Amino acid sequence: MNQDPIKLDILAIAVHPDDMELGCAGALLMEKRNGKKTGVVDLTRGELGTRGTAELRAQEAARSGRILQLDVRENLGMADGFFRNDEQHQRLLIRAIRKYRPEIVLANALEDRHPDHGRAGHLIVESCFYSGLRKVETTDAEGRPQEHWRPKYVFHYIQDRYRVPDFVYDITPVFDVKLQSIQAYSSQFFSAAYGEDEPQTYISTPEFLQQLIGRHQQFGKMIGVPYAEGFTTQKTIGIRDFDALVQIDT
């Protein structure tokens, strides 16, 4: 007998395996500590990456998922670099959104150095909207009709290009674990243990990780904590209690 898929509270959607780790792994870890169910859907296998292989990236993504204690991680197998924001790809993503029914989606940036990031960001936003329309019909893996579902929020994690965040999330208690999840990708980021004779890339130098740490410190400084992740949102955020705001010293 087939079991219904797990319902997630937070779903991170990333075009490449390792985008999520860089952009929002800390938030996923904090939400997990708060008792939420978390998961990741990777759109592509990252097969165009200069270093490593798609098979190795899959192993690294699985290792990272265990570090992050994800409830689910799935790869949709879209073509790295050549996917499009069209009906075919939207329907594929809509099926995943309706499968996991997340309350919040964390998504790629809407514009960034890598063209895949921005294209994926818009694909995610539009798919989340169309997923809420009753007349957009999809079926699950067993051919059963899926119910419509629209996440309450889509937040975009900040990637390579700096963006002024609309809000920042204190990830200080889990920052070391976030770094471990990034370092699970030894083919992509600096690792003395990675012995393959492959070209150095923009992200495989020790300096890249140092710059990444600095970015998180910069976001943390905004609210008086050591480390934070930044997010942008197209939808206004509301609060019911000023106690929800992070206290900073003035």
Residue-wise pLDDT tens digits, 50-84: 999 999 999 999 999 999 999 999 999 999 999 99
Q: Which domains does the chain carry?
A: 10-238 (3.40.50.10320)
pLDDT in tens, 149-203: 999 999 999 999 999 999 999 999 999 999 999 999 999 999 888 878 899 999 9
CA end-to-end distance (rounded Å), the chain:
58
| Averaged confidence pLDDT in the chain | 95
Q: What is the mean pLDDT of residues 40-44?
A: 98
pLDDT attached to residue 74: 98
pLDDT attached to residue 248: 64
d(CA 185, CA 68): 13
pLDDT attached to residue 246: 76
Confidence band (pLDDT; 50, 70, 90) for 247?
A: low
Q: What percent of the chain has pLDDT over 70?
A: 97
pLDDT attached to residue 243: 84
Confidence band (pLDDT; 50, 70, 90) for 2?
A: low
Least confident window among 34-48, 85-99, 203-217, 231-245: 231-245
pLDDT attached to residue 1: 42
